Structure 1
Amino acid sequence: MNKWTKMTQGMDQLARKSNEDIFLSRTPSVVWPSDVVRNDVTTNKNSDSNQILKHVLTDIASRSTVHGISNIVSSKSIYTRLVWILAFLACLGLVVYQLVKIFVLYASFPTQTTYKLGRHSDFPSVTVCNNGYAEYDYSYTHLVENMLVNCKYAQVNGSCETPSSYVSSKYGTCFTFNPPNYLTKISGLHGGITLELNLETHQQRNIEYGMRFTVHDMNTFPFPFEKGITVSGGDVGYISITSRQIKRLGGDYGDCQNEKQIYGRIYTSKACSQLCWEELLYDECSCIDPDLDSLLWQVGNITGSNCYNKIIGDPSPCYLRARELYLSPERRNWCDCPLSCRENIYSLKLTRHQWHTGPNVRLYLDKVCEQIYNSSPFSCELASLYSDSFREAGDNFMKVVIYLQDSAREIVEEEPLYQRSQMLADIGGSLGLFIGASVLSLGEVIEVFTAIFCRRKNSHQTNSN
């Protein structure tokens, strides 16, 4: 082989290598026929899966119970389909608007008030105070056993229990009866409680002889000064009771107190407010408000003077500062005293006439001296009354009958105005009116989501293979 032949062969080899490099540079990867076939199969499978999903969704929509959807799917004309789409969207907007109004109304927890008649379940407690001590003389205390001559329930002698007593800042000794509940079945004068009382006027400096009566729920604070009624000495008084029970819902429907107690007594809004003021006044000034029958005095055994100047009767500077503090916004928020969830409101009406007159007064005086003081008339504590006129002696005694005017009472009750059942009915009505949907339409929604989920799951498995 000559030199020229060898050179020619070398150039041919170099050309072939260059062509191979150019081909490889233009073709970054080699696609084998099997790969092309596999990709075509995957694409076909995905396409088939989409077609199946589209067919399933179209089938569900064509038989949907929701008005408008089937018409949108089945319409052949694009204009008809557009009209149905706009109509459906308009109705869907109205449904959303109605649902928002329904939920807002339900979330506001509206109430309505109903009035009805019901029987009394409990006879109220009766608190009695001697009105002769408008300015209390702390040197003397009336004893219940000296004041109570006779007590009867439903005209039955000896049926009363011993009353409980407390010391009032305005009236001195007061005592409370808790009559049995069977009295609620006997309305009128033949029911209730009858009291014969000895006022012990010989121990009093006040010429306004009489007794103060008030009724209230058992184990609540009495307010004889503000809610009581006075029967004068020498009279027979008939006090009729009418009541109204108020029931409040509380919770989401309003703020009311149900189970709280104050100093071992059942909560009332009035007692809470008064105690809030009294506690502030006593902490600031160590005195009590003379315009109130002190509740702290009843339960706390406090010893405080009158907050008013005894000479001129004006409030002390400390009292005025405490009052300004109590009325400040910060203190008002601190004194949180909502209304009771269940409350009985009592109204009293008094009719009266003169009791013992003439010689009958002396006979009754003899009875009281023997029964109460265990002494003869002339050695009795009431002996000074024998020298008084019949009218003056008669002012030392009184008789009172306290009874239910009627066995029925008015019940005022808060009730939910918009309850959950009504809300569900309104939701169903709105969905049915505008788009024809119902609870069973949820099955179609579940069916749609199931079809989409299955398609995605199958597509994922296909891509994995």
Structure 2
Amino acid sequence: MPVIKTTLKEFAENTSAHGVNKLVTSKGWFIKLIWLVLFLGASSMIVYQVSRLVVNYLRRPATAKTTVVNKPLLFPSVTICNLNPVRYSKVKTDPALIELVGNLAKKMNMSLDAFPYDGTNEPPDPTYPEPANTTVEQILEEYSADFLMQLNAAGEKIVKSYSQKLESLLVSCSFAGKPCSADDFTTISNFDYGICYQFPNATNFPNGVLFHNAGPLFGFRLVLNIDQNEYIPFLTPGAGIRVRIHEINSSANLLEQGHSIPAGFETSIGVRPVVTVNLPAPFGTCDETNAFSDILGCQRDCLESAITRKCQCSRLISWELAFEANGEDSGSQSNQPCEKQHIGCIKEVIKRNQEGIIVCGCIHPCRKHTYEMKTSMTRYPSTHYDPALRYTLSQWIDQGKIYSVEESRKNILSLKVYFSDLEEKTIEEEEAYPFENLLSDIGGQLGLWLGISVFSVCEVVELLYLIIHNSLRGKKTQVLAFSSPE
């Protein structure tokens, strides 16, 4: 149509976009051809560059920003467990458990008569089992797993009565420069370490404790007696405690993330909180509900749910305190506690989980709170400190009972937990390529290759309006002309 052709020609002659007016105003076909090639080449580059920018934006990249803030800090939870889950004197009163230990002793060609072995009586017969397809370590690991499985099947009440009491474990305790006691701890249960103790408890410290000073003088100190004479023969390889430092009201995950502290040493742990904040979809994959403090809590919950479905029983009913401190619910629908007859089924589910057959689909929480730790150790007690420690022990354990320095180092350990500084590090994900950056980059490409700006886009809008207006009313009214930039 003549009207549309005239409108397009006027647009090409007056537009601010580079190169377009040259296609109309240039003299000679050769010059017009050169400008056409340049225009098409520039347009192709725009399409290529803009498509790459859009693809990069749709990837939703994220970048991590780290900030460090100095401020008063809330003291973490400290969970401790004796590496020996139950006392040997109690195991000997349980027919099923002592039979299992006795069978292991026979397999090892040893006798239980020498236990408890305290270094003064005759050691066990150091003979070895006959050669077999399995190593001694494999035998011990297998029996250890069976022992824990059978112990767990007995239920939390039995395990609690067999375990070492906090009053006999705790020699001395101080917190923020003040004495503390067994009343300041919460008792929790653990499938791997039996009965454990968590400090501080929510009753005496409902809002936690805010620290304004760093260093070991203002931290948490424990002196513990692990009582090696009560360690189960063959099944407790290490002497000490398992400790986990974690955020208040979060799961301890002692087996996976705990640290073993040996007897005969003073262990100092300086901590600094680290908060990690991840972006949810579409930037990443994380749980916005933060139902679990970390992915391990979700995996444990998944395992317990699989045991409940497959074995038609719940280990969490047998262990009433198992998730009390975590505030987590396994979603178990079984009202029957797991007992000895369920051990075979539970072992099969655990094996399937280890082989990756059970798919949990767990993802990390969007917010995770951990602690950086710097650990140092010294021998404890020192030779010249031992008399003072022995006096404390004699007052605490038995009037008149004197510990030798060897006995002290075999049974006693010291643990210090404190803030190494009052800085909290936050690692937070941010959108690396927001939409406004995409618009800016597209505008840069359009301006680079064709000189197109926002006003150039407005000219196109004006062109469309003129084409529609002149097409509909060109025959009846005066035709509107394209406005000149002048």
Same fold (TM over 0.5): yes
Alignment partners' CA distance in 1, 2:320 and 2:43: 63
Who is 2:351 aligned against?
A: 323
Who is 2:75 aligned against?
A: 123
Give the 5 Å matches for 1:2-17: none
Q: Are 1:365 and 2:393 counterparts?
A: yes
Alignment partners' CA distance in 1, 2:353 and 2:77: 35
**Which of 291, 294, 299 matches 1:273?**
299
Alignment partners' CA distance in 2, 1:86 and 1:209: 82
The 1:213–1:77 alpha-carbon spacing in structure 2 relative to 1, beyond 3 Å, is same
- Specify the SS of the correspondent of 1:176: strand
Deviations 1:334-358 (A, max 9, x none): x111122222343452413223865
Deviation at 1:61?
Answer: 2.3
Deviation at 1:244?
Answer: 4.4
Query: Once structures 1 and 2 are overlaid, which stretch shifts more, 87-96 or 352-361?
Result: 352-361
- Specify the SS of the correspondent of 1:213: strand
Alignment partners' CA distance in 2, 1:404 and 1:419: 38
Who is 1:174 aligned against?
A: 196
- Specify the SS of the correspondent of 1:343: strand
Deviation at 1:197?
Answer: 3.6
Q: Are 1:339 and 2:364 counterparts?
A: yes
Deviation at 1:272?
Answer: 0.9
**Which of 199, 214, 219 matches 1:187?**
214
Aligned AA for 1:89? L
Query: Once structures 1 and 2 are overlaid, which stretch shifts more, 91-100 or 198-207?
Result: 198-207
Deviation at 1:448?
Answer: 0.7
Q: Are 1:63 and 2:14 counterparts?
A: yes
Q: Report which of the two has the higher share of helix.
A: 1
**Which of 169, 174, 181 matches 1:152?**
174
Give the 5 Å matches for 1:285-434: 285=311, 297-299=322-324, 303-304=337-338, 316=344, 319-320=347-348, 323-324=351-352, 327=355, 331-332=358-359, 335-346=360-371, 347=373, 349-355=375-381, 359-368=387-396, 377=398, 386=401, 389=404, 391-392=406-407, 397-408=412-423, 411-434=426-449
Query: Does the 8 Å CA contact 2:270/2:417 hold for their aligned counterparts?
Result: yes
Alignment partners' CA distance in 2, 1:231 and 1:318: 30
Deviation at 1:87?
Answer: 2.2
Aligned AA for 1:168? N
Query: Does the 8 Å CA contact 2:264/2:380 hold for their aligned counterparts?
Result: yes
- Identical columns (%): 25
- Specify the SS of the correspondent of 1:132: coil
Deviation at 1:127?
Answer: 0.7
Which consecutive unaligned segments of at least 5 residues does structure 1 have? 1-49, 310-315, 370-376
**Which of 446, 459, 462 matches 1:447?**
462
Which consecutive unaligned segments of at least 5 residues does structure 2 have? 87-147, 152-157, 325-329, 478-486
Query: Does the 8 Å CA contact 2:188/2:195 hold for their aligned counterparts?
Result: yes
Who is 2:41 aligned against?
A: 90
How many residues of Structure 1 are paired with residues of Structure 2 in the alignment? 382
Deviations 1:226-273 (A, max 9, x none): 322233445433223355443322221110113232xxxx43101111
Aligned AA for 1:304? C
Alignment partners' CA distance in 1, 2:40 and 2:29: 16
Give the 5 Å matches for 1:27-38: none
- Specify the SS of the correspondent of 1:252: coil
Deviation at 1:193?
Answer: 1.2
Higher RCO (C-alpha 8 Å, min separation 6): 2
Alignment partners' CA distance in 1, 2:381 and 2:305: 43
The 1:415–1:160 alpha-carbon spacing in structure 2 relative to 1, beyond 3 Å, is farther
Alignment partners' CA distance in 1, 2:459 and 2:23: 16
Deviation at 1:416?
Answer: 2.9
Aligned AA for 1:125? S
The 1:172–1:326 alpha-carbon spacing in structure 2 relative to 1, beyond 3 Å, is closer
Aligned AA for 2:362? C
- Specify the SS of the correspondent of 1:337: coil
The 1:228–1:422 alpha-carbon spacing in structure 2 relative to 1, beyond 3 Å, is same
Aligned AA for 2:223? E
- TM-score, normalised to structure 1, is 0.69
Alignment partners' CA distance in 2, 1:302 and 1:199: 34
- Specify the SS of the correspondent of 2:438: helix
The 1:419–1:141 alpha-carbon spacing in structure 2 relative to 1, beyond 3 Å, is same
**Which of 200, 210, 214 matches 2:240?**
210
The 1:451–1:216 alpha-carbon spacing in structure 2 relative to 1, beyond 3 Å, is same
The 1:451–1:387 alpha-carbon spacing in structure 2 relative to 1, beyond 3 Å, is closer
Alignment partners' CA distance in 2, 1:112 and 1:353: 45
The 1:240–1:460 alpha-carbon spacing in structure 2 relative to 1, beyond 3 Å, is same
Query: Does the 8 Å CA contact 2:78/2:199 hold for their aligned counterparts?
Result: yes
Who is 2:187 aligned against?
A: 165
